[in-house]
């Protein structure tokens, strides 16, 4: 039976696709939340008259407008966590940024199923989220297509027998370009992803390969294998979503046309598979290629993976610095090629403090944002 869904980030790319899946499955929706009290969120709230509505950062005008939802509406930064704690629900976390961390922890502490798209939960707060998973009776099912692929390959397998996780990367819109050629690319160029349609931050992160490094960190947290056992290969067609190699030499992969509704639906219906996409792939029409990533042209891959290896505050700091650098790039204050440099220099400035609680994560997050912002300001 499908549990009532709580959709966090309901107005974003993952959130909209989750609502489309909910409609298709006929799943009840118990809560919807977003950052702003936008017309879109209001329309979603009207479409689900039983659902609680969370608005994390409303303007005063939006507060007035959302008064139409009466007792159903919750305002403020804790709204998403309150919704995520609704008992016996499946929480699809499609929030962008570190704002997704508290609701992830809240969902797991409330024994809910967390269908996790929000990357930053595991990247910035991996140890805290995994601790909440161990403490609570909740479940964590990954939504990101690569981690969903690994999760599916691992069904019926013993983690002790895993030799390598191999994450595929599309390579983004700039695959094949040199470091010099990347000096002059614009946000418009970078927002044109060849295979996936996603929010702005993850699209830029895909262009720098920062996204793939964040996925390496997520995979390490989720599956508990060492960094040396996680590899990245570029696969421009985005059909093979990832591989797992086992100790007997066997390799499993999960394949499918790039369509986020598939892993979203699987995270909701797991362990069942219910009818989903009606598009029938034609494997004979596929050309599947694999190549090494260009680590010189895309230095963010190594800079952020190294932050993962260092552990402690460094993944959280890398995430925060990347968010600030991407936003500066999108607003024309920073060049594309400088994004990795800002992250690296921010990491150099962060002391190795322990990271045990959500508050520790946000302390590092704030510090790294400050450092990255100052570095960008000085570079302008």
Ligand X SMILES: NC(=O)c1ccc[n+]([C@@H]2O[C@H](COP(=O)([O-])OP(=O)(O)OC[C@H]3O[C@@H](n4cnc5c(N)ncnc54)[C@H](OP(=O)(O)O)[C@@H]3O)[C@@H](O)[C@H]2O)c1
Angle between helices 200-208 and 339-349 (to 10 degrees): 90
3-state helix, strand and coil shares in percent for the chain, rounded to the nearest 5? 50, 15, 35
CB of 141 to ligand X, least distance (A): 13
Instruction: Name 139's bridge partners.
Output: 113
CB of 223 to ligand X, least distance (A): 17
Residue of minimal Cβ distance to ligand X: 12
Q: Which is nearer to ligand X, 191 or 379 (by Cβ)?
A: 191
DSSP SS3 for 113: strand
CA 321 from centroid of its chain's CA atoms: 16
Q: Which is nearer to ligand X, 97 or 126 (by Cβ)?
A: 97
Q: Which is nearer to ligand X, 11 or 221 (by Cβ)?
A: 11
Distance separating alpha carbons of residues 239 and 281, to the nearest angstrom? 10
With 0-12 / 13-18 / 19 or more C-beta atoms within 10 angstroms meaning exposed / middle / buried, residue 200 is: middle
Q: Which is nearer to ligand X, 92 or 244 (by Cβ)?
A: 92
Please say whether the beta carbons of 169 and 209 come within 8 A.
yes
CB of 119 to ligand X, least distance (A): 4
CB of 36 to ligand X, least distance (A): 4
Q: Which is nearer to ligand X, 255 or 379 (by Cβ)?
A: 255
| Interface contacts to ligand X, rule CB under 6 A | 8-15, 33-36, 38, 56, 80, 94-97, 99, 117-120, 144, 196, 198-199, 202, 260
Distance separating alpha carbons of residues 133 and 309, to the nearest angstrom? 22
CB of 361 to ligand X, least distance (A): 15
Distance separating alpha carbons of residues 37 and 69, to the nearest angstrom? 11
Please say whether the beta carbons of 316 and 364 come within 8 A.
yes
Helical segments of 71-161, H only: 79-84, 101-109, 119-135, 145-154
Q: Which is nearer to ligand X, 76 or 137 (by Cβ)?
A: 76
Please say whether the beta carbons of 67 and 45 come within 8 A.
no
CB of 161 to ligand X, least distance (A): 27
Can you give the C-alpha Rg of the chain in angstroms? 20
CB of 304 to ligand X, least distance (A): 13
Q: Which is nearer to ligand X, 144 or 245 (by Cβ)?
A: 144
């Amino acid at each position: 039976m499908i549990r009532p869904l709580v959709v966090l980030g309901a107005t974003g790319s993952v959130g909209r696709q989750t609502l489309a899946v909910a409609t298709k499955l006929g799943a009840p929706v118990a809560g919807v939340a977003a950052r702003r009290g936008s017309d879109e969120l209001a329309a979603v709230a009207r479409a689900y008259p039983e659902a609680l509505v969370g608005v994390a950062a409303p303007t005063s005008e939006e507060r007035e407008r959302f008064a139409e939802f009466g007792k159903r509406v919750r305002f403020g930064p804790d709204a998403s966590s309150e919704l995520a704690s609704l008992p016996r629900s499946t929480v699809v976390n499609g929030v962008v940024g570190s704002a997704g961390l508290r609701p992830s922890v809240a969902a797991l502490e409330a024994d809910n199923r967390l269908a996790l798209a929000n990357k930053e939960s595991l990247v910035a707060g991996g140890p805290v989220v995994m601790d909440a998973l161990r403490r609570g009776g909740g479940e964590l099912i990954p939504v990101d297509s690569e981690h969903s692929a690994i999760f599916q390959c691992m069904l019926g397998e013993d983690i002790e027998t895993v030799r390598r996780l191999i994450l595929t990367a599309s390579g983004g819109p700039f695959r094949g370009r040199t470091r010099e050629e990347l000096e002059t690319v614009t946000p418009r160029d970078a927002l044109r992803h060849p295979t996936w349609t996603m929010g702005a931050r993850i699209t830029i992160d895909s262009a720098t390969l920062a996204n793939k490094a964040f996925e390496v960190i997520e995979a390490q947290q989720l599956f508990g294998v060492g960094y040396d056992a996680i590899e990245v290969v570029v696969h421009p067609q985005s059909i093979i979503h990832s591989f797992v190699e086992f100790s007997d030499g066997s390799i499993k992969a999960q394949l499918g046309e790039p369509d986020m509704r598939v892993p979203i639906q699987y995270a909701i219906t797991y362990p069942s598979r219910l009818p989903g996409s009606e598009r029938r792939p034609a494997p004979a029409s596929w050309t599947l290629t694999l190549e090494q990533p260009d680590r010189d042209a895309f230095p963010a891959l190594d800079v952020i993976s190294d932050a993962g290896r260092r552990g402690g505050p460094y993944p959280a700091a890398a995430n925060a610095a990347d968010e600030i650098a991407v936003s500066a790039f999108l607003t024309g204050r920073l060049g594309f090629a400088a994004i990795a440099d800002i992250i690296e220099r921010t990491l150099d400035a962060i002391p190795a403090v322990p990271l045990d609680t959500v508050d520790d994560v946000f302390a590092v997050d704030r510090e790294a944002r400050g450092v990255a912002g100052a570095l960008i300001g000085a570079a302008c």
